[in-house]
Amino acid sequence: MENKDNLRINLVYSFFALLFVVIGIRIFYLQILQNPFLKNLASRQYYRLVPLEGRRGDIFDRTGKVLATGMNSYSVFADPVMVKDAGKTAGILAANLSLPAGEIYRKLAKNKKGRFVWIKRKVSWFDKERIKKINLKGIGFIREEKRFYPQEMLASSVLGIVDVDNKGLEGMEVFYDNYLRGKNGIVRVLQDSHCREIIVSPQVITPQEGSDIVLTIDAQLQYWVENYLAETVRKFAASAGSVVVMDATTGEILSLANYPAFDPNSIDAASAKYLKNRAVCDMFEPGSVFKIVTLIAALDTKRYGETDTFFCENGLFKIPGATLHDWKPYGTLSFREVFKKSSNIGVGKIANGVGKEFIYSYIKKLRFGEKTGIDLPGEEDGSVKPLERWSKTTPYMVPIGQEVGVNILQLVRAIAVVANGGYLVKPHLLKSISGQNIYKDSESVKEYVLPPSTVEKAKDILISVVADGTGKLAAVDGIRIGGKTGTAQKFDFQLGRYSPSRYRANFVGFIDYSTVPLAMGITIDEPQKSHFGGVVAASLFKQIAQKCVKYLDGRSAFAKNEVKKDFSVVVAE
């Protein structure tokens, strides 16, 4: 009996000894061997790494008006592992966020092994608070910055847009994205089982703000230019239009406008074609505005001048492979009258007298066929055929603005040479960049290309074009304005010839303002109620010129050295 009791006692001891050994092994396994895994599991359940977005830099106009900035918004995310009922949660979120329930359900159901999925980015505070009150398990919020354009559609084609992560996609936003974009940081957050943040760890990688940039654009001038352009496009039932106003001496762009435009605050509602910056992306045959090249070439080579006359064949002139027409039948015209009346036949004879080699060299001297180098994405080179590819017809067609492709900015740069005394400037939109570790002002880049004697003669003739020539609708009393009209037939590729009904109305000119000489280019695409550049574009030039001079007389907008943040909106008058 005693032996049996001892055996039982030994069995119990042995059992407990074995149990303690098993527990010890299990403790060793969990505490030592599985320690890294379990710590990581606990950390993932209760700690979350939250990105801290680096604030994107602001964009100002030259007077301090805020054109682009940031505003607080909230992004909704989910921890799929903690979501108990994916279908019910998806239905509630869909009703409050205007999203398809199926789309949300797929995000929750397919990510059960993941701990983070975006539901919707950049929602309002009101949307966030409404969902927060429902207290959905596994749903959380992160505060993010949303790009905001306080002037709405103003200068939208210049500013461009950003994506949901505040990365630049178009315009200045993408061109200077490396400066504007901040660097993100990270913070470690302790959360409870409902994803509510209860402790913010001191373990923070501080985000860095992006740099601010100041543009050469003047918001007030931009406002007037955009409104006058829109009125003109609608008045003449045109399809589109562009205007560029530039300081002729520095290349600073004071206004660059396109119509139709878009609202960068409502980018989802904008048509993709409106995002295109036509002033730099549209290449077209310029028509008679290109006659300024022949004018400059004839004067600079001294092949022709004021004393020369040309018989303009009463409106019809047979050339190799084609016939030149004038819009009116002219007889004999003086050198000045050829350009005042915009005679195709007269310009064709002058160009051929100068010689195609010289005409081509002056086209290249004024950098047609090359990008201007403006700080905007998508600029077209233009199109200038190499001299060896010129046909027998080309020497007559190129001087009148056919068989050559330009953008309106290239034309503005060319007319600026006349306005500023012979310098080819580089158009630019950036005035300065300032940030935590950077400050720099942009520099004006210009190249001497024509002697003052040549440009003064050309200037005088172009002023007479406006005074009593084809550009007289651009004239403003008391202001010296010069320029050249252009009415360009558009080539119809289906017909294989120039269209009898589709035109582009152009005007390029300058305001001979004593302190800030301005160069301006206008192009109106396919106007219906009148197609003449001297009617459609020249009249718009006058409206803008009047505003510009009146505004510049105050000089306050150009005298400021320090830019102060100004959220006020531009005014109509």
Does residue 425 sit within a domain?
yes
Q: Give the strand pairing for 59-60 and 212-215.
A: parallel
The pLDDT, as a whole number, for residue 102 is 85
Answer yes or no: do 200 and 252 share one domain. Answer: no
Q: Specify the CATH number for the domain of residue 151.
A: 3.90.1310.10
What is the CA angle 471-474-477, rounded to 5?
120
Tens of pLDDT, residues 382-437: 999 999 999 999 999 999 999 999 999 999 999 999 999 999 999 999 999 998 88
Pair 72, 128 in one domain: yes
Residue 324 clears pLDDT 70, i.e. is over it: yes
Cis before residue 329, ω within 30 degrees of 0?
no
Domain co-membership, 244 together with 137:
no
- Decide: 385 and 258 in contact? Cβ < 8 Å: no
Query: What is the per-residue pLDDT across 192-217, written as a single tens digit (0 to 9) for each?
Result: 555 554 444 555 666 788 999 999 99
| Cα–Cα–Cα angle for 172, 178, 179, rounded to 5 degrees | 75
Q: How far is CA 161 from CA 72, 75, 143, 147, 175, in A?
A: 17, 19, 21, 9, 11
> Does 281 share its domain with 400?
yes
Q: Residue 141 and residue 123: Cα distance in Å, rounded? A: 10
- For the question of residue 343 being annotated catalytic, the response is no
Name the residue range of residue 300's domain: 219-429+439-559
pLDDT at residue 506 tops 90 = yes
**Residue 283 neighbours by CB under 8 Å, 6+ apart:** 380, 382, 383, 405, 406, 407
Give the count of domains, the chain: 2
In a domain, 343, yes or no: yes
Catalytic residue among 73, 288, 342, 343: 288
In terms of domains, do 123 and 69 share one?
yes
Token pair for 119:
């539901």
- pLDDT for 150 equals 94
In a domain, 63, yes or no: yes
Residue 437 near residue 68 (C-beta atoms within 8 A): no
Between 371 and 21, the higher pLDDT residue: 371
**Mean pLDDT confidence for 5-22:** 74
568 within domain boundaries: no
pLDDT exceeds cutoff 50 at 92: yes
pLDDT band at 366 (very low <50, low <70, confident <90, very high): very high
Give the domain CATH number at 269: 3.40.710.10
Q: Are residues 207 and 223 in the same domain?
A: no
pLDDT tens for 242-296 read 999 999 999 999 999 999 999 999 877 667 778 889 999 999 999 999 999 999 9
228 and 300 together in one domain: yes
Q: Helices (DSSP H) in 59-185: which residue ranges?
A: 86-97, 101-109, 125-134, 156-159, 171-175, 177-180
Tell me the pLDDT band of 38, cut-offs 50, 70 and 90.
low
User: Does the residue 457 lie in any domain?
Assistant: yes
Residues 228 and 292 in one domain: yes
Same domain, 371 and 491: yes
Q: What is the pLDDT of residues 428-457, one digit of tens each?
A: 999 999 988 888 888 889 999 999 999 999
